[in-house]
Structure 1
Amino acid sequence: MAMHLNRRTVLRLAGASAISLASPLAAQNDRLRLAFIPQENPEKLLGDIEAIAGWLSSEIGLPVEGFVTIDHAAAVEALRNGDADISFMGALPFVLAEAEIGAVPLLSEVYRDAPSYTGRIYVRRDSGIRSLADLRGRDIAFADPISESGYLYPLAEFVQAGLIEAPGTAEAFFGRIFFAGGYQQAMQAMAEGLVDAAGASQYADLLLTPQQQAEVKWIAESAPIPSHLVIARPGLDADVQDRFIDAMLKLNAPDNREKLRYLYGPDGYVRADPAAYDGVRDIARRYGLLE
């Protein structure tokens, strides 16, 4: 059963549980700890983290360690508790973390040459589902309860269509609502027939096999969403922040671009503009996630 959310609930949903590459102990000045969210298979992500952490260590001159949290909420808690210094995160959990703990935006992703993307509702082509209204009484999987493209923005399409009044009333429309833990998990549940639909990023179908990609389609698309970003806990040493940002921007150089595949595969990074996330702050207030 889905849970009605408010700001404090979503930031405490999962505690600070993590699948660790390096156990997330209290942050220290002699190392940098990075928290990653499981947008894709966590086991694959662990290998990616090991590769990029080694490169970042050599560039920054500081040991870099990474771990995979179970979801966005756990990443925020890791920053809050000092178990992580920096986290890769979606726009919605960032604005919540900004309001709750004073999280600092460092970098924004560029993907397909755009600083934004969308959320979509996906179904199987053979399902007979052609519109959002056809999902009444059906089961749906979302990525994460504080994901913008994997929950709030796709769900807003049902509000725009007049099918539900707000996220807290969604249970009356759907059969069951599941939070799968990531884009890939939600898409697999839909592709394998475990649920009737999935709410995920516009690029989430690329996480399926080529055969599965041919078997699914999207029936609704959200308004543009500012891209994912990299954020820091408040109080992180300014020199360490600068060295990290400089290293990450080096990934835009042709000789380093192949390493971007270890970081969810963006086209590159730019310095974050806090004002770019005003629209996300607005929708979070509209749905009661921000005061």
Structure 2
Amino acid sequence: MNQQLKFGIGIGTAILAGLAVVHGRSIGESIFTNLRIAPAQAQAQTLKIVFPTRSDTTDLQTKARAVTAFLSKELQQPVEAVFGDETAAVEALRANRANVAFLSSRSALKAKELANANLYLAEVRANYSGGHTYKSIFVVPKNSPLKSGQGEATLTQLKGKRISFTSPTSGSGFIFPVAELVQQKLIPNRDRLNGFFGQVTYGGSYDKALQAVLRNQADVAAVSEYTLGAPYITAAEASKLRVLYSISGVPAHGIVIKDNVSASDRNKLIAAMMKLNQPANNQLFRALYNSTTLVKVNNSHLNPTKVALEQAGMKP
């Protein structure tokens, strides 16, 4: 046998020995160990973000996918947009069909309770009086005999009046106004609204609640401060209304992340999302929900909503 053949057999024998399972290691692991070749990394897991529908957003799917494409590039992993209402968003988190979601403060409380998801970022708007908090307001016709102000005396004027709330699930359009009525000792809880107001209706959206007042179908509406203008009502319509009473400190919508996302991956995601504040990327974020920037927060951001729910006799 010539020397070249002997040499080849020797190498072949060494490689075969390396293929053997040693102390429980797999064949594949032994190959990479013996030949000193690093194994290819497993394909990165897809990060799924829920973008709930909101009444003031159009073409959400296109806008959300532009944001996920940006995040995918920043994170170097697939990022997928998921769509549905906020109830579906919380359920997707609970069932591990999503890792992240944009949520209102009440839904964020529910996500923490049911899905081990915590709040890390909040949205800021130019028309939020508190930056990442805003006001819930009672709105009346400009020529209403009711006098604007703060405190029990102002709200007492609403006894026997017709009110249009936004919806039974709205923070600024129901939960905070009801909690304020309870705090001022005008009602004991949400179940006694009909004993105070002459008529209780729900518009189903901010603009419809305001339209009820503009069309004399209600004497007062409960909405958010930023709804007194486009895209909810026109400037001409807004000029026919005024704020009767305001409640500060309503927490803005935010972004929750499940605890099963590792701390390292969570920090990378937050850093990538904060890059949406930069001028070169900001329009991607503004297009989503008409918010301007994101700020870092924690679960204490949700405390006012938690207190308001308790005062109103409601659960998250």
- Give the TM-score taking structure 2 as reference length: 0.69
Q: Residue 285 in 1 paired to residue 301 in 2?
A: no
Q: Which blocks of at least 5 consecutive residues in structure 2 are unaligned?
A: 1-43, 148-153
Indicate the SS of the match to 1:223. Answer: strand
CA contact (8 A) 1:141 1:186 kept: yes
Provide closer, same or farther for how the CA distance between residues 31 and 89 of structure 1 changes in structure 2, counting only shifts above 3 A.
closer
Which residue does 1:57 correspond to in 2?
72
Which residue does 1:199 correspond to in 2?
222
Indicate the SS of the match to 1:220. Answer: strand
CA shift for structure 1 position 288 = 3.6
1:227 paired residue among 247, 252, 257: 252
Indicate the SS of the match to 2:228. Answer: helix
CA shift for structure 1 position 161 = 4.1
Alignment of 1:205-244 (within 5 A): 205-206=228-229, 207-244=232-269
Which residue does 1:20 correspond to in 2?
none
Indicate the SS of the match to 1:176. Answer: strand
Q: Residue 142 in 1 paired to residue 174 in 2?
A: no
Which residue does 1:119 correspond to in 2?
136
Indicate the SS of the match to 1:123. Answer: strand
**Residue-pair matches, total:** 259
**Which amino acid letter does the alignment assign opposite residue 139 of structure 2?**
Y
Deviations 1:40-64, CA, capped at 9 Å, x for gaps? 25x4444433443333333333232
CA contact (8 A) 2:93 2:100 kept: yes
Deviations 1:171-229, CA, capped at 9 Å, x for gaps? 3333133161x434544554455544332221122332222222222211113223321
**Which amino acid letter does the alignment assign opposite residue 134 of structure 2?**
Y
CA contact (8 A) 1:144 1:179 kept: no
**Which amino acid letter does the alignment assign opposite residue 90 of structure 1?**
S
Q: Residue 247 in 1 paired to residue 247 in 2?
A: no
Provide closer, same or farther for how the CA distance between residues 200 and 45 of structure 1 changes in structure 2, counting only shifts above 3 A.
farther
Q: Residue 103 in 1 paired to residue 117 in 2?
A: yes
2:299 paired residue among 260, 265, 274: 274
**Which amino acid letter does the alignment assign opposite residue 183 of structure 1?**
Y
CA contact (8 A) 2:161 2:219 kept: no
- What's the C-alpha RMSD, in Å, of the aligned pairs? 3.0
Identity percentage of aligned residues: 24
Provide closer, same or farther for how the CA distance between residues 191 and 135 of structure 1 changes in structure 2, counting only shifts above 3 A.
farther
- Give the TM-score taking structure 1 as reference length: 0.74
**Which amino acid letter does the alignment assign opposite residue 177 of structure 1?**
T
CA distance in 1, matches of 2:225, 2:65: 27
CA contact (8 A) 1:91 1:227 kept: yes
CA contact (8 A) 2:203 2:209 kept: yes
Indicate the SS of the match to 2:281. Answer: helix
Which residue does 2:46 correspond to in 1?
30
2:98 paired residue among 81, 84, 88: 84
Provide closer, same or farther for how the CA distance between residues 124 and 135 of structure 1 changes in structure 2, counting only shifts above 3 A.
farther
1:151 paired residue among 174, 181, 184: 174
Indicate the SS of the match to 1:200. Answer: strand
**Which amino acid letter does the alignment assign opposite residue 137 of structure 2?**
R
CA shift for structure 1 position 30 = 2.2
CA shift for structure 1 position 166 = 1.5
Q: Give the structure with higher Rg (CA).
A: 2
Q: Which blocks of at least 5 consecutive residues in structure 1 are unaligned?
A: 1-27
Which residue does 2:30 correspond to in 1?
none
**Which amino acid letter does the alignment assign opposite residue 250 of structure 1?**
K
CA distance in 1, matches of 2:67, 2:277: 14
Provide closer, same or farther for how the CA distance between residues 185 and 56 of structure 1 changes in structure 2, counting only shifts above 3 A.
farther
Provide closer, same or farther for how the CA distance between residues 289 and 210 of structure 1 changes in structure 2, counting only shifts above 3 A.
same
CA shift for structure 1 position 267 = 3.0
Deviations 1:119-169, CA, capped at 9 Å, x for gaps? 111233355554542462414132451x32222112223334443221121
CA distance in 2, matches of 1:60, 1:194: 51
Which residue does 1:177 correspond to in 2?
201
Indicate the SS of the match to 2:245. Answer: strand
Q: Residue 75 in 1 paired to residue 89 in 2?
A: yes
CA contact (8 A) 1:141 1:198 kept: yes
CA shift for structure 1 position 232 = 2.3
